[in-house]
Structures are given as structure tokens and as C-alpha cells.
Amino acid sequence: MRGSTRVSRKNDSGSILAEDGEEVHFDRSGVGGNGVDGIRVSHSVEFELQYGFERLRAVNIKCLNSDLDQ
């Protein structure tokens, strides 16, 4: 799936607004590469969905190439 991010530096987590309009939570364990520090608000990302204990969560999150320069 693809979407855009909203990030909270306070607790190293955030949410992704998926292309289908669904909002999906993520935390540092779901982010590869530079971790949450590499993700900024409104970055376009690609991710997979995984069923967590309470809700769906995003995992294997990767920034799309067009956002890496920003």
C-alpha cells in the first residue's frame, strides 16, 4: 500500500493516511532504514499491513524515492 505520513517525535510513532482513506498507526519497529528519524510529515511511503493486538498497523515502511531529497 501507499500513503502519506504524520509523525510524532515524542513517542517515535505516527500514522499513515493510506491512498484508500484509511488511517494506519506505526511505531519505530515498523520502519526500516533510518527509522522514524528518516520520515517527515507528508512523506510518501510504501508499507504493508499487519494485524496487531488492538488494530491494524503499518510495517516494512519505506520512503518513496521522490521524498528522499527533502
For the chain, the domains span: 2-67
Task: Kindly indicate the confidence band of residue 50, based on its pLDDT and cuts at 50, 70 and 90.
Answer: very high
Domain with residues 2-67, CATH architecture: Beta Barrel (2.40)
**How far separated are the first and last CA of the chain, in Å rounded?**
22
pLDDT of residue 48: 94
pLDDT classification of 37: cutoffs 50, 70, 90: low
* pLDDT at residue 43, rounded to an integer: 85
